[in-house]
Amino acid sequence: MNSLMWAAHDSHVIAKRNVIKIRRVPEVLMFVLISPIMFVLLFAYVFGNSIDIPGGSYREFLIGGIFAQTVIFGATFTGAGLADDMQKGIMDRFRALPMSRAAVLVGRTASDVIYNVLSLLIMALTGLLVGWRINEGLVSAALGFALLLAFAYAFSWVMAYVGLLVPSVEVINNASFVVIFPLTFVANTFVPAENLPGVLRTFAEWNPVSAVTQAARELFGNIPPGTPEPTAWPLENAVLYTIIWIFVIIAIFAPLSVNRYRKAR
């Protein structure tokens, strides 16, 4: 019990340090707030009249995908922050202190949830301006936002591990695009999965990003009436499939990240 309390206290200290850093580097926060607005407006007005969603609005269909893509991209701040601390030698100072080895990573991933909360808030407000609506009530919507944040938190552990592997922030930015772009575009984020051909459709149907997007649309009430039911199990059970992925990702990458942190030089 004492060791858990010690680890929780250390994690809180690290999280507080990262929150203070947000105030001291406002340029990063501005990028976090501006990029969601650009994504929503770009896809809503450039593609809004080009993609047909039978029985529904593409703008309502779009927002769930934009939510999923943006919170996943937000997880890259975890990897970039850790790579920056490694490059500057701050990790060596942390390891020299009498503190929990997991605290640095838990505090980092926890504090970065703030970025995603702000992104979701800005996107939701922008989405309301372009025609997106919540049609399933506030409780269901709150569950949708919570699921998006939980998935982003889990994915931040993937980026934490990558951030401890690479030598610089520049590399983590390039590496994250290689991972995130296929996951977010070969999915149902911007077009229905059934519109994709062959192997790409199968990948999209089992892609966890498609599941969290589908779950968000269901919880926000953005599935048009009369839309055919998905035939792939992950999209039929989108909420459950997303929760499974959240636990699997954390179970795999949290221990890997902590172990890598102990050995990193």
Domains of the chain, by residue range, sit at 2-263
Q: For the chain, give the number of residues.
A: 265
SS3 for 117-152 is: HHHHHHHHHHHHHHCCCCCCCHHHHHHHHHHHHHHH
d(C-alpha 122, C-alpha 30), whole Å: 11
pLDDT, one tens digit per residue, over 1-60 is 556 676 677 777 777 777 777 676 666 667 767 877 888 888 888 776 667 777 677 778
pLDDT, one tens digit per residue, over 206-263 is 999 999 999 999 999 988 777 778 889 999 999 999 999 999 999 999 999 988 888 7
pLDDT, one tens digit per residue, over 130-169 is 888 888 888 999 999 999 999 999 999 999 898 888 767 7
Q: Do 175 and 166 touch, CB atoms closer than 8 A?
A: yes
Smallest CA-to-CA distance from 66 within 182, 180, 184 is with 184
The predicted model scores a pTM of 0.89
pLDDT, one tens digit per residue, over 73-120 is 888 888 888 888 777 777 777 777 777 777 888 888 888 888 888 888
Q: Which two tokens stand for residue 221?
A: 């009430």
pLDDT, one tens digit per residue, over 175-212 is 778 888 889 989 999 888 888 888 999 999 999 999 99
Give residue 26's pLDDT: 67
